[in-house]
Amino acid sequence: MHRWAPRGALAVVLLLAYPVLTHAAVTTGLAYLAWTAWLCIAALVVLSFPGRWGLAGFALLAAAPLVVDADVLLKLPPVIIDVALAIWFGRTLAPGEEPMISWFARLVRGTELPPDLARYTRWSTVMWTAFFVSMAAVAAALAVLATPQTWSLFTNGIDYLLMGMLFVGDYVFRRVRYRHHEHRPLADVVRTVARAGKLAPRRTARK
């Protein structure tokens, strides 16, 4: 746990720095900001995949701006990340899998979900999957059709705002609609989701 903490803290810093640097690069036109933002992505690869493969990925990504303009490269991560999240959530909707939001809810509660909450969290997983697909489609369309400033405003601002609104809205709706069940504070939910990357949903959901 102590070894993970510094790496996790650095990952958070890089994740926060990336959209800020990207938007600054787009609005100012300064190439070094675009390079720095892209290096944040490369560094995240090393943190996510420690070892020789992570270093190889970092080297390839760090060298990519020598071949392709960094401003062009920066339009790829928003689409790739949203598609990856859509796949991550969507694959848990397959028969025999535990839906992603059901897994989050079970981790937060520390026990199996009542049938009505299990049904709701499955539909919530569908909603989140659709959200990430939609965000990927919009980011891709804006990258091709919109001005760089409009693309950046959406991918580095509005996208995160919509995600936060959906997260809080889902939590509030669940507390109101299923108020006959006990619910943990929102801070506990956030901490659980933040830890979830080191765990995995059950391969086979209980009936």
pLDDT at 200 exceeding the cut of 70: no
The mean per-residue pLDDT over the stretch 134-143 comes to 96
pTM of the complete model beyond 0.95: no
Give whole-number Cα distances, 189 to 9, 104, 117, 192, in Å: 19, 8, 15, 5
The mean per-residue pLDDT over the stretch 83-109 comes to 90
Which residues lie closer than 8 Å to 53 by C-beta, 6 or more apart?
none
Looking at per-residue pLDDT, the higher value among 101 and 1 belongs to 101
Nearest to 90 by CA among 15, 206, 170, 201: 201
pLDDT at position 2: 46
Q: Using only the alpha carbons of the chain, give its radius of gyration.
A: 19
Nearest to 121 by CA among 54, 194, 61, 170: 170
Listed in sequence order, the DSSP H helices in the chain are: 4-28, 31-48, 52-63, 70-73, 76-90, 100-109, 115-145, 148-153, 159-177, 186-195
pLDDT at position 111: 82
pLDDT at position 207: 44
Tokens standing for 70? Answer: 């960094």
Give whole-number Cα distances, 199 to 104, 193, 206, in Å: 10, 10, 18
Between vectors from CA 163 to CA 200 and to CA 82, what angle results, nearest 5°? 60
pLDDT tens for each residue of 149-182: 999 999 999 999 999 999 999 989 988 988 888 8
Tokens standing for 119? Answer: 């049904």
pLDDT at 204 exceeding the cut of 70: no
> What's the mean per-residue pLDDT of the chain?
85
Tokens standing for 104? Answer: 């989050």
pLDDT at position 13: 87
Q: For residue 195, give the 3-state DSSP assignment.
A: helix
